[in-house]
Structure 1
């Protein structure tokens, strides 16, 4: 696991400034504290920070082939590298190392751009090829590892594992993209391929980008997508057996390491399943890490302890205070662009704990998307039955009117909070799911924007992102559709971003067995009734695990990492919220209606409404402006 960076000259073969390249590389020191190196030659510069996991002795980067004609910087792990090494040796390639990095170099020479089809793992890499005078970049299928790049005005292309590497280049324009800001306030993150800056981009998951000298930078090319065919001819018992076989294989592949290895154990189904499989593949106790909350409402450590006791793991628990909000500015600097998932706080803490005991940790991330585990899936399917019974022409005026008139009862029991449901029923399926996934919904979001900002948006709404992905989904199954949407939006933009930055902040490598692409592809062939049945999410997954996990772990209500935002904003963070949202950089942008923002603050403080999510989203945007944009002159888009 590493931090990678570099510069490529598409107009010629200029000599790059070594001091600049070292500064760019040093921004990623936290991703790879073990070693660092920079390589410069006319027209190409590579930077690498290394966290040594495999082939510690000889796996240094940048790595070149014997002839010096192909070189690479690579972040990630290729889990089938040993099999590929044997195949490539059979083709006549000679290896100087035992690293998966050298496997990619020779795979490029053997198969060209199609080499990515052979790689099983999490990866982002940039490869220079002298024969084609080009730079080839690739990102893994599910976006576990990040890749940012920016074509600069003078013909350079700068790239790196995090935005901060690009921000170290003085020629990167800091113009903020209004459409990225709209996506952030709708979803809580800036979705691929945008970044918060106009000039910088994210390479989307499952894509490559081939940049040839003398040619303008083109569009990334898709090499993989998940196809929900739902056509597997398999009975339930066979599906359970096959699922466990695939899960064990995926976990076993991710246990290859030359450093201490363990797992996160939250007490949820996904992480508990991973630990159960690890215990079956390990000769000694599995090292597991959990955090406990001092507020019982958010604490699920007792369930983690049940699993730890059952498998006799070497279990480590640390208590996190419920008022653990001192990380706000740290998180803003860590993520480089606005990011509003408050569970980043406990995720940061559990990574901090894990790094005291291991260098590699397996996680349960990605299970909800593939197995059908989110509570919102059940609610969406209930809405779908209603949408199917009434045409949109009737639903839109009927439920649209109800949605406008029905009060927003944050204080009431969930059964009486019908406003959101009415609003969803007035929309088509994809727009309704966007409404569900919005951290600040259209009716609440648009009043926060100033007239100037709305003008700069030019009519853009973040729902277009969902509509664009839905066109590629190629499925009429309503559950498969929203699983597809989550795989391309929430999983990448929120979950993977959160875990990558939080883990790398502590130089911890996290591996996700439930995001193995072969497992994901197989699950996409299973009919939806094996994923969501009778209101029970992850039906097949849970049935398969009944012999391996306590029933309390499998069938209790899902909790997830949560923090008490509502109480913070009425108590210890009250003054910070007022100071940050009603003045300072947020007000200076001219992009927000301060009267509307002030109304949110007042209503939340007096207890008439719970605006904790929009207030947190605004607060983290303010933290971005103060901590990231404060380091350089801020220029809003004209």
Structure 2
């Protein structure tokens, strides 16, 4: 696991010390070793976190022919690939390097299984490749023109490289609008103009000033496989066990994040079959909240023989908020990033690898909105109740019914944001937004629409494209790497997604039962406290924080007409929202939080 950065310049390489200053901004991603190389036109460097091949995995990897590799991530099937190459090595970096040399970039990408972002440079052909894993777990950002290619694992380092090359770093106004709608900035767009993320499951080719980006994998939902539910259960259980098992391959101590829910409990069960000294970590808040699941998690840990530590979130939420602003290189309005940072900080005292349950909802159908999507035609009648159903707490049954009524009353392009963030939308632009838009949110959503998919498959695909990629995975990567923790997610295995994509909707949602196939497999193997518990999302107590801990900060920043956010959004409109005059039916807590995060980020960036 590493932070990587590079610069290719037609006019010659950067000064080595200057380049390493940019690289060192990512020291948290790899504090164990820093190395860089400089050739006539190239700077390439890594900040390494030693996880696999402690002594053998040093990089950048180079040979006498002028091939250079910088790699961030973990290739879980590296032993099998080593055998296929007839190579004896315990380094997944070395295996990746040899695989590219022997089989080329396309075959390599199709064979490796894991999370990764890497650069490969062939000096003889003056050819660069940048590549990213299928789900987009590991980040990689770039800037390019005809005479220069700059890239880094984090935007802070890329921004520094741009400044060293006298390239203007300007705010992307369009990205700010999308952020206020999605609560994150949808990739490949970033907060800065002309800075992009390599899309997941793609590789970039750069040669002689020309760039192309090519896909090597994508989600395939059709055709559906014709098999029984019993046969599917056997396949899924085997795939989950295998996915967890290979993610235990590491030369350092491992742990896992354990909540009171199904996903992390399943991973705890499967991991305990293959690892004896796992340590589990659970969050607990210092006040009563539905998010406190430590008692259930403790029972699960005891059942599967895991060490268990309860992490009490006793740090000031303001302290965690300030840490999140400095950790995330662009605005991210997910308040659960704050406890994620606390978990990573505590876990880093004990382990270097942490398994987690990310992707379980998007894979198996865990969100309430998936029930709505699957049954949207039967719920059409609720649109006639929209005006008579009062607004309720969002997580309550009344709140869910109200949102369902609004969803069924809306067009397809509006539904996704109602299903998820329920913040600002395109029809708010005339009263809200102070600039012209290049791309509306509805057009962005429509660009990922497939009329041949079921309503459930379409919603799950949108979630994977927006919410998972640009929100959940960003949060997990940056929060864990801020404390030099490698976060591994068994449910994000691409082979698991290929398998689940083949199954009909009824295998995921059956009646009112979500995650139908997962629960059918593990219902008898998990503690009853897990299987009988009401589903809760891993969210911070944002309402409590807004009313108490953030109250003064919100007053000082958002009520000030001179705040930086009002360059982009209308002050009067935001005041109407905060006074409860407009947008009462929406997720106003997150709307306020997103504006607060944006203002703090703008102040820090400038």
Check whether TM > 0.5. yes
1:406 positional shift:
5.7
Between the aligned partners of 2:399 and 2:206, the Cα distance in structure 1 is 55
- 1:271-324, CA deviations, whole angstroms, 9 ceiling, x for partnerless residues? 110010011112x24211111122332211111111111112111112114962
Paired with 1:585 and 1:147, the residues of 2 have a C-alpha distance of 35
Do 2:259 and 2:282's aligned partners in 1 also have CA atoms closer than 8 Å? Answer: yes
Give the equivalent residue in structure 2 for 1:635: none
Aligned-pair CA distance for 1:555: 4.0
Contact 2:372 2:404 (8 Å CA) reproduced: no
The answer to whether structure 1 residue 618 and structure 2 residue 584 are counterparts is no
CA distance in 2, matches of 1:211, 1:457: 30
Q: Give 2:301's aligned residue.
A: 308
Secondary structure at 1:124 match in 2: strand
Instruction: Number of aligned residue pairs: give it.
Output: 599
2:422, 2:587 within 8 Å by CA — same for their partners in 1? no
- Cα deviation, 1:536-567, whole Å, max 9, x if unaligned, reads 11001011012320233134222122223223
CA contact (8 A) 1:566 1:611 kept: no
Partner of 1:482: 459
- Give, in angstroms, the shift of residue 17 of structure 1: 1.6
Q: Which residue of 2 aligns with 1:465?
A: 444
SS, match of residue 580 in structure 2: helix
Counterpart position of 1:636: none
Choose from 71, 74, 85 the match for 2:82: 85
Partner in structure 2 of residue 4 of structure 1: 4
Rounded to whole Å, the distance in 2 between the matches of 1:539 and 1:177 is 42
Deviation at 1:417, TM superposition (A): 6.7
TM-score for both structures, normalised by structure 2: 0.93
Equivalent residue number for residue 299 of structure 1: 292
Q: 1:105 to 1:385 in 2, by over 3 A?
A: same
Equivalent pair of 1:150/1:200 in contact (CA under 8 Å): yes
Quote how far apart the aligned CAs of 1:608 are. 11
What is the correspondence of 1:340-419 to structure 2 with a 5 Å cutoff? 340-387=333-380, 409-410=391-392, 414-415=397-398
2:272 paired with 1:290: no
**Could you tell me how far apart the structure 1 residues matched to 2:318 and 2:271 are?**
34
Q: Tell me if the contact between 1:2 and 1:48 (Cα under 8 Å) persists in the aligned partners.
A: yes
Q: Tell me how far apart the structure 1 counterparts of residues 179 and 226 of structure 2 sit (CA, whole Å).
A: 41
Are the aligned partners of 2:221 and 2:453 in contact in 1 as well (CA < 8 Å)? no
Aligned residue number for residue 136 of structure 2: 143
Is the CA contact 2:391–2:585 (under 8 Å) kept in the aligned structure 1?
no
The 3-state SS of whatever aligns with 1:603 is: coil
**C-alpha deviation, 1:584, in angstroms:** 7.4
CA contact (8 A) 1:185 1:445 kept: no
Match of 1:539 among 497, 512, 516: 516
Q: Indicate if the aligned counterparts of 1:263 and 1:287 stay in contact, CA closer than 8 A.
A: yes
Question: Offset of 1:98 from its aligned partner?
Answer: 2.9
1:319 paired with 2:296, answer: no
Identify the match of residue 41 of structure 1 among 26, 39, 42. 39
CA distance in 2, matches of 1:257, 1:498: 23
1:182 maps to 177
1:633 is aligned to none
Q: How far apart are 1:356 and its partner, in Å?
A: 1.5
Q: Which residue of 1 aligns with 2:494?
A: 517
User: Residues of 1 paired with 2:522 and 2:534: CA distance?
Assistant: 17
Aligned CA-pair RMSD: 2.5
Looking at structure 2, the residues matched to 608 and 463 of structure 1 have their Cα atoms a distance apart, in angstroms, of 20
Q: In the alignment, what sits opposite 1:577?
A: 554
Q: Which runs of 5+ in 2 are unaligned?
A: none
Residue number in structure 2 paired with 1:110? 102
Structure 1 spans left out of the alignment, 5+ residues:
390-394, 631-638
Calculate the TM-score normalised by the size of structure 1. Answer: 0.89
**Structure 2: how far apart are the matches of 1:2 and 1:44?**
19
Q: Distance in 2 between matches of 1:135 and 1:608?
A: 50
Tell me the distance in 2 between the aligned counterparts of 1:417 and 1:272: 26
2-structure distance, mates of 1:502, 1:625? 20
